Amino acid sequence: MYAKLRLYILVTLIMGLGIGLILYKHFALGFPLLPDDKKSVWTIEAKIDFTARGDPIIVSFALPQETPNTVFIEEDFASPDYGFSELTSPTGRRAQWSKRAASGSQTAYYRLSIYEIDPITTPPITADLPPEPVKPEFDEVHKTAAITLLDQVRSKSANTEIFTRELITTLNSSAPSQNQSLLLNEQSSEDYKTHLIINLLALEGISARIVRGLYLEDGRRRQSLTNFVEVYIGSQWLLFNQKSGDRGKPENFLVWQRGDQSLLDVVGGKNSQISFSIIKNVHSTRNLVVRDSMNKQAGLVDFSIYSLPIEQQNAFKMILLLPIGALIVVIMRLLIGIRTSGTFMPILIALALIQTTLLTGIIIFLTVVGTGLLIRSYLSRLNLLFVARISAVIIVVIAIIASISIISNKLGIDQAMTVTFFPMIILSWTIERMSVLWEEDGPREVFIQGGGSLLTAVIAYLFMTNRTIEYLTFNFPELMLVNLALILILGQYTGYRLSELYRFHSLERRDVSGKR
Amino acid sequence: MFLASAKKLRSFGIIGMNQRNFGLISRYNPRHLYPLVDDKLKTKLLAQKAGITVPKLLGTLQYQHDVRLLKEILRPYDQFVIKPVKGSGGKGILVITEHDHNLYFKPSSDAIQLADIERHVSNILSGLHSLGGKPDTVMIESLIQLDPVFSDYSYEGIPDIRIIVLKGYPIMAMLRLTTHASDGKANLHQGAVGVGIDIGTGNALHAVQYGETVSHHPDTRKTFSELAIPHWDKLLQLAAACYEMTGLGYLGADLVLDRDQGPMIIELNARPGLSIQVANYAGLAPRVAIIEALNTIDPDPQLRAAFSKQQFSVDSGIHPPRLLHTRSGDPKP
């Protein structure tokens, strides 16, 4: 009983570890559980144009910051003959291009690829209390208008959030009152309106700042940044759309820059312009996550199969499927009770079937084994020593395989050429054993065991070629632990095999009649 | 219905392969004792040392170049059996019943030549019949003479008696009769008839061929209801003594009755099969439970055999109603 308890504890540990690692990879690292999981990757290109005057040039450009729900895949900076550096300051990252002298029209490019993820918990963006906003200077007329407007809005709102929303909607209303028209002025450019909102909020004693961002839409060119207002409410910054007053970050919106720093500074140039173009690509989530985790050096991924060269990875793709085959064999033998020739030969046949495709593989297998048995029966009359005979069978098998390849090539059946993927030594051994079985136990046993092997191989093949299983075994090698735990449990199974329900069925029948 | 319900089988106490491997073989048979029974030569020597009758050893061959000696070894004998020492399940056994000039005759009266025997021996030496293909040894034994008691129940071969022994107590027995279908071999898979034997009396209980009930031998047409095995006490005692001999807690002893020498052991098996349950129309589990409930194991094989005789007799009532009693016009209970 003690041994049993120990085994169950072991099984629970292995199972727990395996499932735990899988869940960690899924939730913390973002590995999808299904192979078809796709994500949109946005590639944003910022193009900076300006005319140089022949003086030294410094171009400084604000760059976006990575957040918990956006992942930057790669960033490129391009501009011919310019020196480049990336500067990080508390207010944000900036790219700086510089050159001693240039003239004529100049262009600099910045390209960024990102995708969005859903982190398990969105950490609340808490921020320290900003300094009391400086009361803005308004001239007398504007000040009166502003105070009137603020009074009006304040009377309609209960807290800062509603106040802000109300203020923005009032400023955007289609039928503006006199005060609003006065404040908005004729020149209501985007930036002017943003600053007006910030100033009005400052007059009310509310801290606010400008946020510039980009709406991500596929195939857009010549886009510019959109202004948002971020307001400090209850120890965090909340984002407001300055056109609608809606709170929160809209979908597919990339925050580019926060605060009042300029987006672009060009020293030594004029007519500077910036435009963005956006392209959407769909990538498999798994590839993105693997690349990202490798970049971040997440231990679980860094010390994994992904760190191997591609060729070895492909080999492992196959190797990691073997435990699935082993599980199938265990189930077939212990639960179903199917007899196979050679314990794990079915797995090897299944591996060959993966290379040849199912139907071709089965036909080739039957042809090779059938022909082999015929020739083997002749060899048995030659009175050979055992080792010599099985070696002869190996050569015969190779000859059969070669002929199948050549004949099928001549006939134009390409699939049959894959015959070389069958493990020849194993095939020879199978032929030898089946031949002996035939002599000793008769053809019936040969068909039972041969059929059992083939059936097990086909079932293992179906599981091993399942896209989802293939994906899971390769990307979650921890699954092997779960598999191991299952096999350990199955190793404890002492109930009847399905085949025994048939084997002993006569007992049941007679009992019923006996009782009658 | 092709499938029995697992629940019903369990209520009969039928033991399945998994249960056998787990609860009996791995529990009672320490691995290091296997060679004693897997190597028939060792078993034979052990049995001789314990004073148990075994078929006479005529010679052994260990190396391929010994095959040349075969002719010399076989010269004095007309009848003999060639066996692989490490064979299992009756594989690789060649029986010769008659020798005439260059021809040797199998029980089926097929004639083969010395060259054929040499090839067979060579195959055995190469490990064709041994577990894992390991090189093997050939042993040549004297042929067992059919006891006249079985002459009506046997076709071209010698029937053997399989007794399952748990911790030294015989718990179930079965007579395996050769048939035409089994090619003279006492192997149930190949079509031999399995006859369940009452431990208490040595009388036939019930017979199966290919898992189906039969009432008489398919070749000799003799009904089994009159079959009773002579020397039954001696057979039980021999089987019980195998426990001391090998130390295996769960074993299958294969015994035969020789016309001249009486009961003898031909082979022991550390992994006896489960068909015996079908032949007996009874499960092993209740009998295993009785033995497992014993506090002490009697050191005397004769007393153990007596205990089993009394415990597992059909009339002791642990069995379901006997088939043979409810057949052929007997009043129904």
Q: Which residues pair with A46 in a beta bridge?
A: A110, A276
Could you tell me if A447 lies within 8 Å of chain B, comparing CB atoms?
no
CATH code assigned at B129: 3.30.1490
Distance from CA of B89 to the nearest CA of A (A): 11
Q: Has residue A438 got a pLDDT over 90? A: no
| B329 belongs to a structural domain | no
What's the Cα-to-Cα distance from A69 to each of A62, A65, A120, rounded to whole Å? 20, 11, 10
pLDDT of residue B322: 43
**A140-277 — its CATH code?**
3.30.460
pLDDT of residue B275: 87
The CA-CA-CA angle for residues A96, A102, A107, to 5°, reads: 55
Could you tell me if A493 lies within 8 Å of chain B, comparing CB atoms?
yes
Q: How many percent of chain A have pLDDT more than 90?
A: 9
Q: What is the pLDDT of residues B106-118, one digit of tens each?
A: 887 888 998 889 8
Q: Has residue A121 got a pLDDT over 60? A: no
Among candidates A507, A510, A514 on the partner chain, residue whose Cβ is nearest the Cβ of B14: A507
Once rounded to an integer, what is the mean pLDDT over residues B215-227? Answer: 86
Q: Has residue A187 got a pLDDT over 70? A: no
- Interface probe for B, chosen from A493, A505, A509, A512 (most Cβ of B below 10 Å), is A505
Q: Has residue A516 got a pLDDT over 50? A: no
- Same-domain pairing of B78 and B30: no
Which residues of chain B neighbour A337 with C-beta distances below 8 Å?
A: 17
Q: Per the CB < 8 Å rule, is A510 touching B122?
A: no
Distance from CA of A466 to the nearest CA of B (A): 30
Which of the pair, B72 or A120, is modelled with greater confidence?
Answer: B72
Structure tokens given for B237: 């005692």
Q: Has residue A302 got a pLDDT over 70? A: no
pLDDT tier for residue A437 given thresholds of 50, 70 and 90: confident
Q: Per the CB < 8 Å rule, is B16 touching A509?
A: no
Once rounded to an integer, what is the mean pLDDT over residues B174-202? Answer: 86
- Same-domain pairing of B216 and B230: yes
Q: Which residues pair with A232 in a beta bridge?
A: A237
Judging by beta carbons within 10 Å of its beta carbon (0-12, 13-18, 19+), is residue A187 exposed, middle or buried?
exposed
- Nearest chain A residue to B188 by CA distance is A441
- Report the 10 Å Cβ neighbour count for B299: 9
Report yes or no: B35 and B29 within 8 Å, Cβ to Cβ: no
pLDDT of residue B215: 86
How many Å apart are CA A11 and CA A15, to the nearest integer? Answer: 6
Structure tokens given for A298: 């997440």
Once rounded to an integer, what is the mean pLDDT over residues A132-150? Answer: 80
Query: Averaging pLDDT over each range in A35-39, A316-320, B1-5, which range is the top one?
Result: A316-320
Report yes or no: B266 and B163 within 8 Å, Cβ to Cβ: no
Handedness of CA A494, A499, A503, A506 (dihedral sign): positive
B174: nearest Cα among B207, B216, B132, B212: B207
pLDDT tier for residue B254 given thresholds of 50, 70 and 90: very high
Which of A271-280, A458-467, B95-104, B312-321 is the least confident region?
A: B312-321
E strand or H helix at A272, and its extent?
strand A269-284
Which residues of chain A neighbour B5 with C-beta distances below 8 Å?
A: 501, 508
B319: nearest Cα among B10, B21, B4, B13: B13
CA dihedral defined by A20, A23, A28, A30, rounded to 10 degrees?
A: 150
Could you tell me if A2 lies within 8 Å of chain B, comparing CB atoms?
no
Sheet containing B262-269, strands listed edge to edge, beginning at the edge strand earlier in sequence: B212-214, B204-209, B193-197, B169-177, B160-166, B250-258, B262-269
Q: Has residue B225 got a pLDDT over 70? A: yes
How many Å apart are CA A223 and CA A394, to the nearest integer? Answer: 70
- Same-domain pairing of B207 and B82: no
How many Å apart are CA B50 and CA B318, to the nearest integer? Answer: 33
- Interface probe for A, chosen from B1, B2, B9, B205 (most Cβ of A below 10 Å), is B9
- Same-domain pairing of B100 and B202: no
pLDDT of residue B321: 43
Q: Per the CB < 8 Å rule, is B12 touching A441?
A: no
Which residues of chain B neighbour A506 with C-beta distances below 8 Å?
A: 208, 211-213, 278
| Interface predicted TM-score (ipTM) | 0.73
Q: Per the CB < 8 Å rule, is B212 touching A505?
A: no
pLDDT tier for residue B319 given thresholds of 50, 70 and 90: very low
pLDDT tier for residue B197 given thresholds of 50, 70 and 90: very high
How many Å apart are CA A323 and CA B2, to the nearest integer? Answer: 33
Q: Per the CB < 8 Å rule, is A385 touching B277?
A: no
Q: Has residue A186 got a pLDDT over 50? A: yes
What's the Cα-to-Cα distance from A421 to each of A195, A346, A363, A455, rounded to whole Å? 72, 14, 14, 19
- Same-domain pairing of B253 and B288: yes
Report yes or no: B33 and B248 within 8 Å, Cβ to Cβ: yes
Which of the pair, A374 or A176, is modelled with greater confidence?
Answer: A374
The full DSSP string for B31-42 is GGGHHHHHSHHH
Q: Which residues pair with A215 in a beta bridge?
A: A253
- Same-domain pairing of B234 and B249: yes
Q: Per the CB < 8 Å rule, is A514 touching B6?
A: no
Domain span at residue B256?
9-37+147-314
The strand pair at A236-241 and A226-233 is best described as: antiparallel
- Same-domain pairing of B262 and B119: no
- Same-domain pairing of B171 and B310: yes
Q: What is the mean pLDDT of chain A?
A: 82
pLDDT tier for residue A198 given thresholds of 50, 70 and 90: confident
pLDDT of residue A404: 84
B37: nearest Cα among B94, B91, B87: B87
pLDDT of residue A160: 83
- Same-domain pairing of B103 and B22: no
What's the Cα-to-Cα distance from A220 to each of A46, A120, A216, A328, rounded to whole Å? 12, 31, 8, 52
pLDDT of residue A493: 86
How many Å apart are CA A368 and CA A362, to the nearest integer? Answer: 10
Q: Per the CB < 8 Å rule, is A440 touching B278?
A: no
Q: What is the pLDDT of residues A371-408, one digit of tens each?
A: 888 888 888 777 677 778 888 888 988 898 888 888 88
Judging by beta carbons within 10 Å of its beta carbon (0-12, 13-18, 19+), is residue A264 exposed, middle or buried?
middle
- Nearest chain B residue to A330 by CA distance is B18
| B51 belongs to a structural domain | no
Q: Has residue B329 got a pLDDT over 60? A: no
Q: What is the mean pLDDT of chain B?
A: 85
How many Å apart are CA A338 and CA A498, to the nearest integer? Answer: 9
Once rounded to an integer, what is the mean pLDDT over residues A131-146? Answer: 79
- Nearest chain A residue to B321 by CA distance is A514
| B228 belongs to a structural domain | yes
- Nearest chain B residue to A389 by CA distance is B123
- Same-domain pairing of B226 and B240: yes
Distance from CA of A354 to the nearest CA of B (A): 28
Domain tally, chain B: 2
Q: Per the CB < 8 Å rule, is A386 touching B321?
A: no
- Same-domain pairing of B130 and B220: no
Distance from CA of A503 to the nearest CA of B (A): 7
Domain ranges across chain A? 140-277, 313-476
CATH code assigned at B246: 3.30.470.20
Among candidates B18, B190, B323 on the partner chain, residue whose Cβ is nearest the Cβ of A493: B18
The CA-CA-CA angle for residues A248, A253, A259, to 5°, reads: 70
pTM of this structure: 0.72
Which pairs with CB-CB distance under 8 Å and at least 24 residues apart come from B102-109?
A: B106/B184, B107/B156, B107/B157, B107/B184, B108/B156, B108/B183, B108/B184
- Same-domain pairing of B86 and B230: no
pLDDT of residue A416: 67
| B94 belongs to a structural domain | yes
Q: Has residue B174 got a pLDDT over 90? A: yes
Judging by beta carbons within 10 Å of its beta carbon (0-12, 13-18, 19+), is residue A252 exposed, middle or buried?
middle
Among candidates A387, A504, A514 on the partner chain, residue whose Cβ is nearest the Cβ of B126: A387
- Nearest chain A residue to B189 by CA distance is A441
Q: Locate tokens 């409810």: which residue?
A: B326
